[in-house]
């Protein structure tokens, strides 16, 4: 089968397309013929091996050389003990360990995969899992009229955060590069901040929720931009900020009822089905940057590494 391989961490030129043996599903797995996959910020990090938490996939090199976590495809075979799915079923979801998606076939546990709604294309279905589930958790509990700031809004997760926050009636401030401003406004952001021009963390008492997809500021600083009772959620970013937030977050801003914490998003079929229902109902739409074939993987990763994508990068696999 054709597959993308990455045998070490580094720049996009470590990416190649090659032939690999077709996997055999174990008794408790299904074999999925991948029709479409999508890439996220985690794939950019897993390419570079930075931040260092990306190396849980392998300290010196990725244990599984096939990148990508989000797939949509057709069940080609099922293991002996699988009763939930049969050959021909259309499924989608996120692969454990964030790897294995960019191949014509993947053997996976059916636990995290959901049935693809018939009206949803394979590309749109592949766009949802990781980014949609992050946004689903990050916007939970928002109320109409709340003010939300999303930092790193122009990539994969940001589009869903903006869409879900607007659906819940929040006012959205989206922070990213200046050249992504029109994209952010089209997604529904009420205002944008160019991070090179203005530091949103200099604001005082403004937001009910801050969703930080690219956290690099100290947790002792970011809480000042929250209103009393507001919540800062670190989703991704520097390892030292992650550690500081885990260790000290619970002590910060407590007198004002503020919460500063890391949002750990479990890979969950229930979350995936909940956010997908909002997509099929038309409440939120995946923001697709472009769709390219698997054979173009080196160029696709160049674009991802440069951050030139507006929303989701989709790979047509087979
Ligand atoms: N917490 C969890 O359980 C969990 C689960 C899965 C993934 N994650 C993490 O989620 C994070 C974000 O994912 P994503 O897929 O949305 O990332 P993404 O697609 O890479 O988007 C990040 C966006 O932030 C922009 N950006 C870069 N530097 C910035 C800065 N200083 N200020 C503001 N914006 C900046 C990027 O622009 P450029 O492209 O120009 O750089 C890009 O538009 C990743 O770190 C991933 O590891 C967390």
User: How many Å apart are CA 132 and CA 130, to the nearest integer?
Assistant: 6
Q: Does the fold of domain 134-262 match that of domain 2-128+286-316?
A: no
pLDDT band at 253 (very low <50, low <70, confident <90, very high): confident
- The domain spans of the chain are 2-128+286-316, 134-262
State how far the Cα of 167 lies from the Cα of 306, in Å rounded to an integer. 30
Distance CA 212, CA 294 (A): 31
Give me the mean pLDDT over the 113-117 stretch: 98
Closest by CA to 284, choosing from 119, 81, 135, 84, is 135
The CATH number assigned to the domain with range 134-262 reads 3.40.50.720
168 neighbors 142 (Cβ within 8 angstroms): yes
pLDDT band of residue 5 (cuts 50, 70, 90) is very high
184 CA to centre of ligand 1 in angstroms: 15
| CATH code for the structural domain at 2-128+286-316 | 3.90.180.10
CB distance 155 to ligand 1 below 6 Å:
yes
- Counting ligand 1 atoms within 8 A of each CB, the residue from 101, 131, 136, 152 with the most, and so the one to mutate, is 152
Calculate mean pLDDT across residues 220-232: 97
- For ligand 1, atom 44: residue with the closest CA: 236
69-83 confidence digits (pLDDT tens): 999 999 999 999 999
Q: Ligand 1 in contact with 89 (CB < 6 A)?
A: no
Range among 53-62, 209-218, 250-259 rated most confident: 209-218
Question: pLDDT of 167-208, one tens digit each?
Answer: 999 999 999 999 999 999 999 999 999 999 999 999 999 999
Regarding the beta carbon of 312 and ligand 1, being less than 6 Å apart is answered no
**Residue 157 Cβ contacting ligand 1 at under 6 Å:** yes
Average pLDDT, the chain: 96
């Amino acid at each position: 089968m054709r597959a993308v391989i990455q045998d070490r961490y580094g720049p996009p030129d470590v990416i190649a397309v090659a032939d690999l043996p077709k996997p055999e599903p174990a008794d408790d797995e299904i074999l999925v013929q991948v029709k479409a996959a999508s890439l996220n910020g985690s794939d950019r990090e897993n390419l570079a091996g930075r931040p260092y938490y990306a190396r849980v996939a392998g300290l010196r090199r990725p244990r599984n050389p096939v990148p990508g976590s989000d797939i949509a495809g057709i069940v080609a075979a099922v293991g002996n003990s699988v009763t939930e799915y049969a050959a021909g079923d259309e499924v989608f979801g996120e692969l454990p360990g964030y790897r294995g998606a960019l191949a014509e076939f993947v053997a996976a546990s059916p636990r995290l995969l959901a049935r693809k709604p018939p009206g949803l294309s394979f590309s749109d279905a592949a766009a949802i899992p990781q980014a949609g589930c992050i946004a689903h958790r990050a916007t939970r509990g928002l109320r109409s009229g709340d003010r939300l700031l999303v930092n790193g809004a122009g990539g994969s997760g940001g589009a869903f955060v903006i869409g879900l926050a607007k659906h819940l009636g929040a006012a959205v401030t989206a922070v990213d590069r200046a050249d992504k401003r029109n994209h952010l406004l089209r997604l529904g952001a009420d205002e944008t901040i160019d991070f090179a021009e203005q530091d949103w963390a200099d604001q005082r008492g403004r937001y009910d929720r801050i969703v930080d997809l690219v956290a690099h500021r100290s947790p002792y600083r970011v809480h000042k931009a929250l209103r009393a009772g507001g919540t800062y959620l670190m989703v991704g970013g520097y390892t030292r900020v992650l550690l500081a937030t885990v260790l000290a977050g619970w002590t910060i801003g407590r007198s004002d009822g503020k919460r500063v914490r890391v949002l750990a998003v479990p890979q969950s079929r229930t979350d995936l089905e909940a956010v997908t229902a909002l997509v099929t109902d038309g409440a939120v739409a995946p923001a697709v940057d472009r769709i390219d074939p698997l054979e173009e993987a080196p160029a696709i990763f160049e674009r991802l590494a440069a951050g030139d994508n507006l929303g989701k990068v989709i790979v047509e696999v087979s």
